[in-house]
Amino acid sequence: MLIGTHTLLPVCLGLAAENLSLAKGKGHVFPEWALPVIGLFGALPDLCSPHISLEDRMTSWSHTVWFMAGLIPVCAMVCSFFPNGYRWRVAVALWLASLLHLFADAIAGGIAWLRPWRLDVIGDYYIPAAQWLWWDIGFVFLTWLLVRLRPHSEALGMEGS
């Protein structure tokens, strides 16, 4: 998958949760600036180990379960910059954003998730490379749509209160 999908997939899920919470009058799910950081963590495996080819991805240390385990304390440190009431939520969202990246790569060619100990690949080309750009365009549109719906969700939540 391309970087747009990796960045915007977790952002779209965060925006959907935010819009749903606002529409129910329950307030914000994430604090200010959390969604861009969540997007950054969605792209983090590729930013830590840039690659162009599938072979490079298969040898990448940042597309393994070991990377995900090492990411837990990093998420804890980053979420310390957010307000107290949101820290657990942000930490989990950051970690899940990177996990979604690995899931997306697993269905778009596969990942060697236990490398270097095992070279087993999980996943396959369920989404062919020729479609990746269309997925990026779709997530750009969906992000735009969810951002545009946010004020309407907030207004709906205020009416119900």
Domain count, the chain: 1
Domain housing 66 = 3-160
The answer to whether the CB of 71 falls within 8 A of the CB of 13 is: no
Angle of CA points 138, 90, 16, to nearest 5°: 35
- Helix, strand and coil percent figures for the chain, each rounded to 5: 70, 0, 25
Is pLDDT at 160 greater than 80 in this prediction?
no
Per-residue model confidence as pLDDT tens digits over 3-42: 999 999 999 999 999 999 999 999 999 999 999 999 999 9
pLDDT tens digit sequence for 44-70: 999 999 988 878 888 899 999 999 999
Question: What's the mean pLDDT when you consider all of the chain?
Answer: 95
Which of 122, 61, 69, 123 minimizes the C-alpha distance to 95? Answer: 69
Per-residue pLDDT band for 101 (boundaries 50, 70, 90) equals very high
How high is the pLDDT of residue 161? 61
